[in-house]
Amino acid sequence: MSAIAAFSQTCRDRRALMAALRVALFVGTLLFTINHGWAAANGQMTRSRWISALLTYCVPFLVSLHGQSMARSRLPATDNIPSAPLGTDREPTEL
């Protein structure tokens, strides 16, 4: 599967989007606190800082989707491509 087709398919996958959203909320909040925490706490958030803060959440969201789509594009071409992010739809194995 081509990388573009895999990314397009990943963007339509609800489970992949939810996983990317969780990553964005966690990583974005961490980065927001590091980069803008002082300004937010002291009421010094300017328009450009708010735009930067928005991008702070967008970047991990898109990186997560990209990683999931790259993993999906490397799967063998079959009809049973998983619709969930890799590793989340497997049954637990016994040792």
* 86 in any annotated domain: no
DSSP 87: T
Q: What is this structure's pTM?
A: 0.72
* 88 in any annotated domain: no
Residue 1: its pLDDT value, please?
65
Q: pLDDT of 47-84, one tens digit each?
A: 999 999 999 999 999 999 999 988 887 777 655 555 65
Domain of residue 9: give its range. Answer: 3-73
* 95 in any annotated domain: no
Q: Please list, in sequence order, all residues whose beta carbon lies within 8 angstroms of the beta carbon of residue 55, skipping any fewer than 6 positions away.
A: none
Residue 26: its pLDDT value, please?
97
Q: pLDDT of 14-35, one tens digit each?
A: 999 999 999 999 999 999 999 9
Instruction: Report how many domains make up the chain.
Output: 1
- The CA distance from 44 to 32, in Å, is 14
* 91 in any annotated domain: no
